[in-house]
Amino acid sequence: MRKLILRHNQAWASLKKKPGFILTVLLTMGITLGALLCVVTLNYLLLVEPLPYPEQDRLFVAEHKLIGPEKETKAIAFTYPGLVHLYKSKEAFEKASIMAYSQDVIVSHPSQPLVNTAYVTPELHQILASPMAMGRMFEASEAMDTNNPVAMLSYNTWKKEFSGSADILEQKINLSGISYRIIGVLAENFVEAELDGIGRETQVWMPWDYNQTGERGRQSFGNISGTLNFLGQLKEGVSQSQAQQLLSPLVSDRWQEGVIEMDFFKGWSVVMLVTPVKEVMLGDSESIAVMLLAGVMGLVLIACANISNLFMARTAEKQRQMAIQAAIGATKKHLFQAMLAETGLLMFMSIILALVLAQIGFFVMQEHFEQILPRVNELSFNPITFGSAVLVTVVFALFFAKLSTWMVDYRSLNTTLQSSGKGSGLQVSKKVRQVLIASQVALATVLVFANFSLLKDAVKTINAPIGFTTTNISTLVLNFASTDFPTQEERLPIMAEIKEKLEALPQVESISQSPSPLDGWGVRALTDVVSKERYTPFLNGVSHTYFGMIKQPLVQGDNFTLVDRQDRNNVMIVNQSFAKQLKADGDVIGMKISVGGPDPFKIIGIVKDIAIPNATPTGSDNADAGVPRVYTPNGLGSQRFMVKVKPGMSVSREQLGKLLSDVDSRYSVYSFDAADDILTKSLFVEITTAVTTAVLASLVFLLAGIGLYGILSYGTQLRRFELGARMAIGATRKHLVSMIISDNTKAVLIGFVGSVVLFALAYIGLSEYIQPFLNWQVLPMIVATIVLIMLVTLFACYWPLRQYINKPAIFSLRGSD
């Protein structure tokens, strides 16, 4: 033990003299290992760690897949009665629960917050064995058709909105005019099965009976909703495929009965998809996790090559010290132990920094990646993190110590002393240096190219023109907080007064009683009256001032008029994409389109397409395809408004809340968001991807630059006298720069070839993830990557050289004798 302490004291004393060396190793290994620990923990969580639910192997999500007449997928979403039918059938599942996700305003709360809600049957929390912080979960008394108004809160909502009130179970909350008694608060460690989107946390849970589907929707097999979900525990012995086979006819037959009178659905069918809950929750995040791991491993390898070079240079520097140690009796093992003490100390310091950075990484991921990666809220240090930390510390300490002592020829150490340090001494061989350069270039090329490809796609989406303006426009959606719904006649004067008062606000430039183009779309089944061809475009009801406010150009025909809205005329405006679907030449003015009712709609105008980020046509994943859209005039009782404020001015949610309650106390603000914010939010994934890949690419460049500089600088230093001799016999700076570049070109070219090999290996192992990126558009990325890597290499060639070639030749020759 004393020997160990002594060795480490000596190692520390030796290292202390080289603060620059310590700092470089600490920062390089600390940052990269921090990223590694963070990503390893994430991968374990996503790929290995079981969900915290009992019997999770039997937990499956059932989905309703609508198949069109040509066997194409039309949509994956339930109809309300279809979902209830499946739930009640109890087929294949031992326990099952249905859920409807939504949002609502807690009107009884002083700040009237908009919260995420879920209407569920009691089995959900029983299946998940949800831990409770206080109170109880839903039980039989809250089952379907019991109409018992109770609610459960999430832990965060209890803490944030109710200040963690101890008497929360004695309180009531009012949503949409219904007063719910709070019966329980979920525990902090409850992990929600996020089926309605990654990162969506349900804040208030209510019984299924209170879901917001209207009476018509509850009966119609023709309406689908993406917010309806089914989760169940399969019966013992029933497999996934057996469940699909059992459920498909059960659901399809009932659906066919339900739509028998709807011509639109002729030839359609339903297939049930049964998927493990973990797979649904993880989505395609597995590929993100694997790609992140591959990227970080690349970073670690680059860092490892950099640090190897530093350790080898340090060993060369310590040659004389080691020779003295050998002369006084140190064996080869002693020298290795001394080196291990140094590498061990450095790796220990690096791993401490790495753990700190990993913790910061967890925080950053939880704050910013919540909508991209599932389960990030569960990220924390676990035995895998610590185990990985110990493993990498030991492995890297041993590797660097072994590498350093490997280059020492123990027998020739005596010669070092005899020659009093003269001669070339111990050096990192040219071959090793060339291997290090080639590996740096290969790894940097692969990583930079991968990051560039992701960055390019993200930037393309972010910068794509949307085709309408969002400047100074906010969307206001009203909330009606009562079960006493007004009739259409009662609502019209209320909305007219609200509109009038909104227009009278000094900050407001104009009002359009319409939803925002970023909101309110639904898919509608339409039929061409003449050809009987069926279509499923997106549809929105808008006012006559809608297109003018968002500056979406009308390219043909007429806009809606106020009269169209007042009289609810059957007129329709379509966008260019839908016009082309209807008729190849796009000339569709006057065409009659049925929306299911007795009187068809007449197309009176065509507007330019808009491009809402990440929107694709129904049943297609092609982001470049034009999305068919249809607009109809909305009624004057619409509760959605676009508010355009004067430049530099703003209206607060509180101000609007007061305005509404002055008109009618039953109305409050449901949501009031700037269109720019909604747009930015819809681009969250792309923005996060762009930032992450740009940071990673920069980090790779930085590390590769440092590494190449280190290796080339060392090589140039070794060639100092040679440079001096060449200068003495007439070599100009140009000659010498060309020589150094040409000498390293071979290694750089080998590096580029190595990157192709790495790509090929990656393609073999990860073809499903890489295939979508392989097209001609990657060619400029390849060129850009190669050019940038070459620039980094040229810089690393020139920079260490300049200290010799920009001084008189004697500077390089001094000491050569």
Partner 1 sequence: MTEIKIEMKSISKIFETDDVETHALKDVDIVIRAGEYVSIAGPSGCGKSTLLSLLGLLDMSSSGSYSIEGVDVSALSLDDAAAIRNEKIGFVFQSFNLIDELSVFDNVALPLQYKKELPTDEFIKERVETCLKMVEMSHRADHKPNQLSGGQQQRIAIARALVADPAILLVDEPTGNLDSQSGDTVMAVLAELNKNGTTICMVTHDARYADMANIQLRLLDGQIVKDEPLMVAV
Residues that bind partner 1 (CB under 8 A): 721-722, 724-735, 805-810, 813, 816-817
Three-state secondary structure call for residue 596: coil
Between residues 668 and 744, which has the closer beta carbon with respect to partner 1? 744
Q: Which long-range contacts does 235-242 make (Cβ < 8 Å, 24+ apart)?
A: 235/92, 235/93, 235/94, 236/58, 236/94, 238/92, 240/60, 240/274, 240/275, 240/276, 242/92
Q: Rounded to the nearest whole angstrom, what is the least distance from the CB of residue 318 to partner 1 in the complex?
A: 24
Between residues 399 and 721, which has the closer beta carbon with respect to partner 1? 721
Between residues 531 and 732, which has the closer beta carbon with respect to partner 1? 732
Between residues 613 and 724, which has the closer beta carbon with respect to partner 1? 724
Retrieve residue 632's tokens. Answer: 């109809």
Retrieve residue 723's tokens. Answer: 């440079």
Retrieve residue 203's tokens. Answer: 């804040």
Between residues 377 and 434, which has the closer beta carbon with respect to partner 1? 434
Between residues 459 and 725, which has the closer beta carbon with respect to partner 1? 725
Cα–Cα distance for residue pair 516/709, rounded to 1 Å: 53
Work out whether strand 93-105 and strand 640-645 pair parallel, antiparallel, or are unpaired. unpaired
Q: Rounded to the nearest whole angstrom, what is the least distance from the CB of residue 49 to partner 1 in the complex?
A: 56
Between residues 290 and 737, which has the closer beta carbon with respect to partner 1? 737
Between residues 753 and 810, which has the closer beta carbon with respect to partner 1? 810
Q: Rounded to the nearest whole angstrom, what is the least distance from the CB of residue 741 to partner 1 in the complex?
A: 16
Three-state secondary structure call for residue 472: coil
Q: DSSP E strands: which ranges in 191-343?
A: 204-207, 228-234, 269-276
Q: Rounded to the nearest whole angstrom, what is the least distance from the CB of residue 440 to partner 1 in the complex?
A: 23
Q: Rounded to the nearest whole angstrom, what is the least distance from the CB of residue 314 to partner 1 in the complex?
A: 24
Q: Rounded to the nearest whole angstrom, what is the least distance from the CB of residue 419 to partner 1 in the complex?
A: 13
Residues written for the chain: 817
Cβ of 383: how many Cβ atoms within 10 Å? 8
Q: Which long-range contacts does 675-679 make (Cβ < 8 Å, 24+ apart)?
A: 675/470, 675/473, 675/474, 675/475, 675/516, 675/518, 675/642, 676/470, 676/471, 678/470, 678/475, 678/516, 678/518, 678/519, 679/466, 679/470, 679/518, 679/613
Q: Rounded to the nearest whole angstrom, what is the least distance from the CB of residue 789 to partner 1 in the complex?
A: 26
Between residues 213 and 812, which has the closer beta carbon with respect to partner 1? 812
Q: Which long-range contacts does 657-661 make (Cβ < 8 Å, 24+ apart)?
A: 657/112, 659/498, 659/501, 659/502, 659/505, 660/478, 660/498
Q: Rounded to the nearest whole angstrom, what is the least distance from the CB of residue 422 to partner 1 in the complex?
A: 10
Between residues 356 and 728, which has the closer beta carbon with respect to partner 1? 728
For every residue of 491-553, DSSP letters joined together read HHHHHHHHHHHHHHSTTEEEEESS--TTS--EE--EEETTT--EE--EEEEE-TTHHHHHT--
Cα–Cα distance for residue pair 666/105, rounded to 1 Å: 12
Three-state secondary structure call for residue 699: helix
Q: For 683-777, where are the alpha helices, taking DSSP H only?
A: 684-718, 720-728, 733-770
Three-state secondary structure call for residue 590: coil
Three-state secondary structure call for residue 236: coil
Distances, alpha carbon 352 to alpha carbons 347, 356, 637, in Å: 9, 6, 62
Cα–Cα distance for residue pair 206/180, rounded to 1 Å: 8
Between residues 334 and 733, which has the closer beta carbon with respect to partner 1? 733
Q: Rounded to the nearest whole angstrom, what is the least distance from the CB of residue 726 to partner 1 in the complex?
A: 7
CA-angle at 289, arms to 287 and 290, nearest 5°: 65
- Per the CB < 8 A criterion, the answer to whether 578 and 535 are in contact is yes
Between residues 409 and 490, which has the closer beta carbon with respect to partner 1? 409
Between residues 288 and 727, which has the closer beta carbon with respect to partner 1? 727
- Picking from 379, 154, 372, the residue whose alpha carbon sits closest to that of residue 282 is 372
Q: Rounded to the nearest whole angstrom, what is the least distance from the CB of residue 730 to partner 1 in the complex?
A: 2
Q: Rounded to the nearest whole angstrom, what is the least distance from the CB of residue 807 to partner 1 in the complex?
A: 8
Q: Rounded to the nearest whole angstrom, what is the least distance from the CB of residue 806 to partner 1 in the complex?
A: 7
Q: Rounded to the nearest whole angstrom, what is the least distance from the CB of residue 809 to partner 1 in the complex?
A: 4
